[in-house]
């Protein structure tokens, strides 16, 4: 299966996009490869692309201005979309870094091409609306998890959303995302392994 066919199936499943609507995007998607540690988007840069992850894992993080500590905000993994969405939609500088945690490949579209597709097709407009709703839901869930859930519940949610993560990245990235220290994550993992 080609990457374009794979992407077509994903967009059909995500937004019921027809084959004819998808064909409007022929020639505007391009593949990019990233080595571990390379940035998809840099702090204070404007994000110009929306990508679909073919292989690999990324993280978005901030650097605490006082402690200098990196704090993970989001993970993006295989078969999911990636973007610094606020920066991408509004074409404003991004407030965090988005980095490949593993070697990775994505297929992506730039903001101008996507805007052109929105003007050409209601199906692409629908894709844009559903993407915005999905991003809003992810951000809301992230905030609510810190307000309403225990670290163990946040860990279980993370593993459900990104099942391969614990095998691909160092655990300190996961503890940073959960807002806990490494020893606390070890206790959670040990407790869950004993169940």
Distance, CA of 179 to CA of 169 (rounded, Å): 16
Q: Crossing angle, helix 171-178 and helix 151-161, to 10 degrees?
A: 120
Q: What Å distances lie between residue 105 and 10, 32, 56, 57, 60, CA to CA?
A: 16, 6, 7, 9, 16
pLDDT of 4 reads 86
pLDDT of residue 16: 96
pLDDT of residue 11: 95
| C-beta separation of 32 from 103 below 8 A | no
* Residue 166: predicted pLDDT: 82
Supply the pLDDT for residue 50. Answer: 97
Domain ranges (residues) in the chain: 3-148
DSSP state string for 4-37 = HHHHHHHHHHHH---HHHHHTTTTT-EEEEE-TT
Q: What is the pLDDT along the chain (195 residues), one digit of tens a residue?
A: 788 899 999 999 999 999 999 999 999 999 999 999 999 999 999 999 999 999 999 999 999 999 999 999 999 999 999 999 999 999 999 999 999 999 999 999 999 999 999 999 999 999 999 999 999 999 999 999 999 999 999 999 999 988 888 888 999 999 999 999 989 999 999 998 887
Predicted TM-score (pTM) of the model is 0.92
Domain boundaries 3-148, corresponding CATH code: 2.60.120.10
Q: What is the pLDDT of residue 167?
A: 84
CB of 81 closer than 8 Å to CB of 51: yes
pLDDT on residue 194: 80
The whole-number pLDDT of residue 32 equals 97
């Amino acid at each position: 299966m080609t990457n374009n066919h794979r992407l077509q199936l994903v967009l059909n499943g995500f937004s019921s996009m027809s084959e004819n609507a998808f064909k409007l995007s022929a020639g505007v998607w391009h593949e990019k490869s990233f080595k571990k540690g390379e940035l998809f988007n840099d702090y204070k840069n404007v994000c110009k692309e929306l990508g679909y992850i073919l292989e690999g894992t990324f993280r978005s993080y901030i650097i605490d201005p006082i402690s200098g500590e990196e704090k993970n905000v989001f993970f993006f993994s295989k078969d999911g979309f990636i973007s610094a969405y606020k920066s991408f939609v509004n074409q404003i500088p991004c407030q965090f870094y988005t980095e490949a945690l593993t070697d990775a490949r994505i297929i992506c579209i730039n903001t101008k091409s996507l805007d052109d597709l929105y003007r050409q097709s209601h199906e692409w407009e629908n894709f844009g609306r559903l993407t915005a709703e999905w991003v809003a839901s992810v951000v809301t869930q992230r905030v609510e998890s810190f307000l309403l859930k225990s670290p163990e519940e946040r860990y279980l949610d993370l593993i459900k959303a990104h099942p391969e993560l614990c095998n691909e990245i160092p655990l300190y990235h996961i503890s940073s995302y959960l807002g806990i220290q490494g020893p606390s994550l070890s206790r959670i993992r040990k407790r869950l392994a004993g169940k």
